């Protein structure tokens, strides 16, 4: 009996693909697996490995199809397929795939976590909380899942977000961030916030752009500034803002650590749609106000909290702040309210998300009198 030479060739390609995959060479691995399947179609192991590569290439639909057979018995591949379905917004199928994953292995923390996210975004907050508790029982990241639980249980004193959350969120989001904000969410917070300052025509010797993202604020304010320095927690965002070409420098750091380490003063500190991810603002004010030059301006936007609430962590995983709490913070830090007005921050499912826009000024330098 003579073996078909294509079988040996396919085996060699499979081994080569595995070597590429282990070394992180996703495109080369995918090419080898694809060539192996062309020689010997339908091999489950090859299809499963190619499905994983398609997942890493963000070719979600192909990943779903390729992983279908292997995912029936392998909980890891079942979870990967479920996440691909989530990326495709095929939510009913994703839920079924997550439930199937958990029938194969009910100790998979990530499966419980993903199921919690799905339930949270669907508005089933009690079920989301149950899933997050299960994830914790299975060893999930403690601080991160306590944060998720606070969001679905509407606690009165929500915690600050773990640094790992914001960094991962915006690293994943960086490539599509600006297009998604401006075109999908109809985001104009940067323009609304800076418009009064642009209208004044005042020049700024130094501007600090907190959570600078892809550089939306930097581009607007740069014509009126001698220098604009930015900071963002996500390395992928830092790369984008540096490429914008409007910043003197952009650092990758947590904004609190960055402000505390920076010894210079600024005429303007701007944070457009950033404090919705930082939680309590007292530490931010404590770090930012000493960096304001006399007469300098702290300009920021936040989502509006429900009536009577100073601070909320919403199921969207974004923080909202009350007007009175903002005024109290300004007063405690010796800042004068130049302007405070309400306007939409973005649109969510076709509805405007209302926010507070705030311009606060440090006391000007007093001239000595004789």
Does 303 share its domain with 280?
yes
The predicted-structure confidence for 266-299, as pLDDT tens digits, reads as follows: 999 999 999 999 999 999 999 999 999 999 999 9
CA contacts within 13 A on the Cβ side of 285: 18
Among 89, 120, 155, the domain-final residue is 155
Does 35 share its domain with 74?
yes
Tally of domains within the chain: 2
pTM for this predicted structure: 0.85
The predicted-structure confidence for 61-71, as pLDDT tens digits, reads as follows: 999 999 999 89
Does 334 share its domain with 214?
yes
- CATH number of the domain that 190 lies in? 3.40.50.150
- CATH number of the domain that 9 lies in? 1.25.40.10
Q: Is position 260 within any domain?
A: yes
Does 135 share its domain with 184?
no
Does 200 share its domain with 150?
no
The predicted-structure confidence for 301-340, as pLDDT tens digits, reads as follows: 999 999 999 999 999 999 999 999 999 999 999 999 999 9
Among 105, 120, 155, the domain-final residue is 155
Angle, helix 44-56 to helix 75-87, in steps of 10 degrees: 40
Does 129 share its domain with 195?
no
Give yes or no for a contact between 227 and 203, defined as CB atoms under 8 angstroms apart.
Answer: no
Does 231 share its domain with 264?
yes
The predicted-structure confidence for 7-56, as pLDDT tens digits, reads as follows: 889 999 999 999 999 999 999 999 999 999 999 999 999 999 999 999 99
Does 192 share its domain with 336?
yes
CA-to-CA separations, 357 to 256, 257, 299, 339, in angstroms, rounded: 21, 24, 8, 8
Q: Is position 47 within any domain?
A: yes
Among 128, 155, 182, the domain-final residue is 155
Does 36 share its domain with 68?
yes
Per-residue pLDDT at 366 exceeds 80: no
Tell me the C-alpha distance between 214 and 92, whole Å. 34
Nearest to 145 by CA among 121, 192, 101, 113: 113
Does 78 share its domain with 224?
no
Does 279 share its domain with 353?
yes
- What is the domain extent for residue 336? 168-361
Does 216 share its domain with 113?
no
């Amino acid at each position: 009996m003579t073996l078909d030479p294509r079988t040996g060739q396919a085996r060699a390609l499979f081994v080569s693909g595995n070597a590429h995959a282990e070394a992180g060479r996703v495109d080369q691995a995918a090419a080898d697996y694809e060539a192996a399947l062309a020689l010997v179609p339908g091999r489950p192991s090859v299809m499963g490995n190619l499905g994983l590569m398609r997942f890493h290439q963000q070719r979600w639909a192909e990943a779903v199809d390729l992983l279908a057979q292997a995912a029936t018995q392998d909980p890891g591949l079942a979870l990967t397929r479920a996440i691909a379905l989530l990326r495709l917004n095929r939510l009913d199928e994703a839920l079924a795939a997550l439930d199937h994953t958990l029938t194969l292995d009910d100790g998979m923390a990530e499966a419980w976590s993903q199921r919690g996210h799905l339930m949270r975004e669907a508005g089933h907050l009690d079920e989301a909380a149950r899933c997050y508790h299960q994830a914790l029982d299975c060893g999930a990241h403690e601080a991160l899942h306590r944060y998720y639980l606070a969001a679905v249980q509407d606690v009165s004193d929500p915690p600050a977000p773990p640094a790992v959350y914001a960094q991962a969120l915006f690293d994943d989001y960086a490539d599509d961030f600006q297009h998604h904000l401006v075109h999908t969410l109809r985001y104009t917070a940067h323009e609304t916030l800076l418009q009064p300052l642009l209208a004044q025509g005042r020049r700024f010797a130094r501007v600090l752009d907190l959570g600078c993202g892809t550089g939306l604020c930097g581009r607007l304010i740069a014509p009126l500034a001698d220098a604009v320095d930015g900071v963002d927690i996500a390395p992928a965002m830092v790369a984008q803002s540096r490429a914008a070409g409007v910043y003197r420098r952009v650092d990758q750091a947590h904004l609190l650590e960055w402000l505390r380490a920076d010894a210079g003063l600024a005429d303007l500190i701007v944070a457009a749609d950033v404090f919705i991810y930082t939680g309590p603002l007292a530490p931010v004010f404590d770090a930012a106000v000493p960096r304001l030059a006399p007469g300098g301006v702290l300009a920021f936007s936040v989502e509006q909290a429900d009536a009577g609430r100073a601070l909320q962590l919403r199921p969207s995983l974004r923080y909202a702040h009350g007007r009175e709490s903002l005024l109290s913070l300004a007063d405690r830090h010796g800042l004068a309210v130049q302007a405070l007005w309400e306007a939409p921050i973005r649109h969510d499912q076709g509805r405007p998300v209302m926010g507070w826009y705030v311009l606060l000024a440090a006391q000007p330098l007093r001239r000595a009198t004789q």
